[in-house]
A and B are shown apart, each in its own frame.
Chain A
Amino acid sequence: MGKFVVRRLLQAVPTVFGIMLLTFILTRLSPSDPVTLMVRTNPDITEADRAALREALGLNDPLPLQFAHWAANVARLDFGDSFNYRRPVIQLIAERIPNTLQLSLTSLAIALVIAVPLGVLAAFYRGSALDQVIRTVSVFLHAVPVFFLGLLFILFFGIQWHVFPVGSMNVVGESCTWCSDRLWHMAGPAVVGAAGGIALIPRVLRTEVLEILGQDFVRTARSKGLRERVVILRHVMRNTLIPIVTLFGGILTILVGGSVIIEQVFNWPGLGRLLFEAANNKDYPLVQAAVLITSFLLVISYILRDLGYAAVDPRIKVGG
């Protein structure tokens, strides 16, 4: 297991390097000049000040050297100060991460609880009306834009029927993290965020379960007279753990990518909403750092997924 962990961590190195390189190149390709952006609110700036600032920021250095400096800062999690808030970017982001994690993990749990049984049922009752319904719902949820689903939720449950709040995390004056008020506010964004997973999981899982059902060991289990319930729980369901862990990667990407939309629709003060506001304020360091840090979080969750994969599937450890 130790060897596998080390190998997997080493595999992440070129990916992290690629992410940093791509972000850096995009920033440097930009036609807007960083010095102009930094001093745009200061009318007294002179040409000499600009030149001094340019030299101090290292913008006259050769590009590879600039990249090395920048990468060294990123490695220390130093992304500079936000243009807008005048505070270290990393602080602003760190404050928002718990909110995003709370929402995404709840969405993930909802997606798994609803979609895993659907996928298994669709496989067991292959070709039935139930299978058709599940397939239709899944294709439909694939096609609906997340923000439209969120807007519809607010329009009906928030405005028309007054069942759920129209946005934000707590009622005014409250600030608890795990309480009925927070859960009530989280219901909408969490369910809408789960839609992507509910669209993805049954389709993939159905195929996987069908494949497992056709395996020799299932036939053996049945032919030696095990009750159907035991066959399903002990022999089939245990093996579905592998594709479910694999699916984590896809769902996480959907959740993280969708966070900027969900948080904007439901006014949820997480990382996605921070990114949205920063982009509107043209707060370049903050946007750049938000893209980098969410990408790093994804890299970490993929590593965790692969470790979980090794934990449920012993064959991987043998191979690695």
Chain B
Amino acid sequence: MASPAIAARAVSPTLGPARRHEGFWWDALYRIQHDPTTIAAMAVLSLMILLALAADVLASHVFHTGYTNQDLFRTWGPPSLEDPKFWLGADNLGRSQIVRLLYGARVSLFIGVLGASVSLGVGVSLGVTAGYFRGWWDDVVVWLVTTIANIPILFLLILVGLYFRLDPLSLSVLIGMLGWLGIANFARGQTLALRDREFIQAARTIGASPPRIMTRHILPNILPLIIVLAMVDIGGIILAESALSYLGFGIQPPVPSWGNMLSGSAQFYFLGPHLIIAPGAAITVTVLCLYLIGDGLRDALDPRLRGTAGVARRG
């Protein structure tokens, strides 16, 4: 029922003059095409995703080694151009750092995307239903949000990591289950503001059921900014995972993740600074791209918010 055009009017009543294509999403696309920072960030991130997907192929056909293969003559080897597998040097066990970074990209991106999907699913459904039904259900959701917001999330993850052995799948579900607060708050606030608007009342008058109103009328209106939050969320989850793995409670070796490549890094200071800089730079660049894309999308989808704060850091 609610086409993107209706969504556009509700979210952003003052759109600019019509360009080549009419409509909300075309308008956003037009803005993104004229935003070089966002385009660059998207390009870098796409390259990162491609490299992560191609990790197996690259490892066996270009670098001729796996992420566990050791070359004990090359431990702590500095970056060198002579052998492709040591382009970024070797680690303390003589494993190729570039191959480990590629596989680490898989873990980080997988956890980021899956974790963000979980937290989006939980956050949007709890937030929208709480805002729509209000009453006791709203109280329960608000209580959950305040409770979890008062527990340092990294501490909680360490506690859970102590009780359960975490693989990438369970870790991303767990982080997602704890990271939905910001999204729920946003969805709830927007729903509270929308639920008494005329078009919702009209839908209610013609007999639309609550699930139909929420999915067909409210959701399309908050979707644009949810997409922005999703980008920021993926970045935040990648950061949380890397911190947990750095401390040794996340992804366990020998599976490489950008975080656990840095754990025990105190011994790297003298022998292998390249072992600190490469994984750290990989995390920073990936998260930076996600945040920049989030910023760019927000500007494109809702120009009124241009330049306001959107990035929420998780504790």
Interface on A for B, CB 8 Å cutoff? Answer: 14-15, 18-19, 22-23, 26-27, 29-32, 126, 135, 139-140, 142-148, 151-152, 154-155, 158-159, 166, 196, 199-200, 203-204, 206-207, 250, 253-254, 256-258, 260-261, 264, 275-276, 279-280, 282, 284, 287-288, 290-291, 294-295, 298-299, 302
Contact = CB atoms under 8 A, between A and B. Distances in A.
Given A142-B313, A287-B158, A299-B150, 18 more contacts: A18-B146, A23-B159, A27-B163, A139-B311, A140-B288, A142-B287, A143-B235, A143-B287, A144-B283, A145-B287, A147-B246, A148-B280, A158-B269, A166-B269, A256-B315, A257-B152, A257-B155, A258-B154
Nearest to B295: A139
Given A287-B162, A291-B155, A145 B242 contact: yes
A204 B164 contact: no
A291 B159 contact: yes
B305 to A, nearest CB: 9
A298 B152 contact: yes
B307 interface: yes
Given A15-B146, A145-B239, A257 B315 contact: yes
B209 interface: no
Contacts of A288: 159
B210 interface: no
B269 A155 contact: yes
Contact of A257 (B154, B164, B288): B154
Nearest to B151: A295
Contacts, number: 161
Interface SS majority for chain B: helix
A202 to B, nearest CB: 9
Nearest to A295: B151
A279 B163 CA distance: 10
Given A15-B147, A275-B155, A279-B249, A203 B311 contact: yes
A146 B284 contact: no
Contacts of A302: 150
B247 A139 contact: no
B151 A22 contact: yes
Contacts of A147: 242-243, 246, 262
B155 A260 contact: yes
B284 A31 contact: no
Contact of B313 (A135, A151, A199): A199
A124 to B, nearest CB: 14
A152 B280 contact: yes
List the 3 closest pairs (A to B, CB-CB), nearest first.
Answer: A18-B147, A257-B315, A148-B280
Given A23-B159, A145-B283, A295-B151, A261 B247 contact: yes
B81 interface: no
Contacts of A26: 159-160, 163
B143 A14 contact: yes
Given A159-B269, A279-B162, A279-B249, A291 B156 contact: yes
Interface string B127-171: 000000000000000011011111111111011111110000000
A294 B239 contact: no
A265 B28 CA distance: 43
Contacts of A155: 269, 273, 276
A154 B283 CA distance: 19
Contacts of B235: 142-143
Contacts of B307: 126, 135, 206-207
18 contacts: A14-B146, A139-B292, A139-B295, A142-B287, A142-B313, A145-B259, A147-B242, A148-B283, A199-B313, A203-B309, A250-B313, A254-B313, A254-B315, A256-B152, A280-B248, A288-B159, A291-B156, A294-B152
Of listed A14, A147, A196, residue having the most chain B CB within 10 A? A147
Given A140-B288, A206-B307, A254-B315, A295 B269 contact: no
